[in-house]
Structure 1
């Protein structure tokens, strides 16, 4: 039987950090589904996931994922991670800032027949946009509302 935690760790470590997009064909099921609230509709299949990863890696080419915890139960594996990278490419309409950012997140994977069949991801998008200067820190928002 495949070690589900070892399989799942290949995504943040090989696909995201190392940029080995060929590993997607090895570790993800053909009918893979990604659930990411920041992406709008669910992404389906390896090709859509590859494009998703490429979009982030073009914006943050030196991205590194640090898996801080991994828990497995049956076909489910959950990860807690911190991703760090430098904003060097266009990202969600935002021109490169050159800023180094750090974002925490959690992911839950469903493994089926030795491949990743489904992934739910949630990361601190608000914190990322605050680090990139798109959204002011909450402290500043509070100051603006009390200044009226």
Structure 2
């Protein structure tokens, strides 16, 4: 696949989750998919990642990725930007706060044969927890 095609597939991957379209996301995630995400002690498989995506969608039903940079080299797509949304559902045992949040995210997605096969995702969880009032603001 070309770098332009890989970029389009990666952006479609995030757009599918932002739109709450799990079925669309499933079409572009490989069956042998592996995800490495912030806070997870073990990599997530296909089903685990879908569950994670649904948990985030429930917690932030209006959640949206905005990317400042999208860099493609060969089969890897790097995205850097923010995730924003309203905390309207339970998140990791914390009840909804109604707070608007925005925190930094960085991802690397490997695309093979038109499917996302591996995902590495980092998020500024400290900023998220501070915005939700779970942690005190930093000094």
Question: What TM-score results when the alignment is normalised by the length of structure 2?
Answer: 0.94
Report 1:1-148 matches (<5 A). Answer: 1=1, 3-15=5-17, 17-45=18-46, 47-139=47-139
SS in 1 for 2:34: strand
Equivalent-residue separation in structure 2 for 1:22 and 1:67 (angstroms): 23
SS in 1 for 2:89: coil
C-alpha distance after superposition, 1:29-65 (max 9, x if no partner): 00000001312211012x2221110001101111111
SS in 1 for 2:133: coil
Who wins on radius of gyration, i.e. which is larger? 1
What 5-or-longer segments of structure 1 have no aligned partner?
A: 140-148
Structure ranking higher on relative contact order (CA contacts 8 Å, 6+ apart): 2
Equivalent-residue separation in structure 1 for 2:103 and 2:41 (angstroms): 20
SS in 2 for 1:22: helix
Count of residues in Structure 1 that have an aligned counterpart in Structure 2: 137
Equivalent-residue separation in structure 2 for 1:66 and 1:12 (angstroms): 10
Equivalent-residue separation in structure 1 for 2:36 and 2:21 (angstroms): 21
Q: Does 31-40 or 120-129 show the bigger shift?
A: 31-40
What 5-or-longer segments of structure 2 have no aligned partner?
A: none
RMSD: 1.1
**Structure with the bigger percentage of helix:** 1
Query: How far apart are residue 24 of structure 1 and its match?
Result: 2.1
Aligned partners of 2:83 and 2:102 also within 8 Å: yes
Question: What TM-score results when the alignment is normalised by the length of structure 1?
Answer: 0.88
Aligned partners of 1:12 and 1:67 also within 8 Å: no
Equivalent-residue separation in structure 2 for 1:103 and 1:10 (angstroms): 21
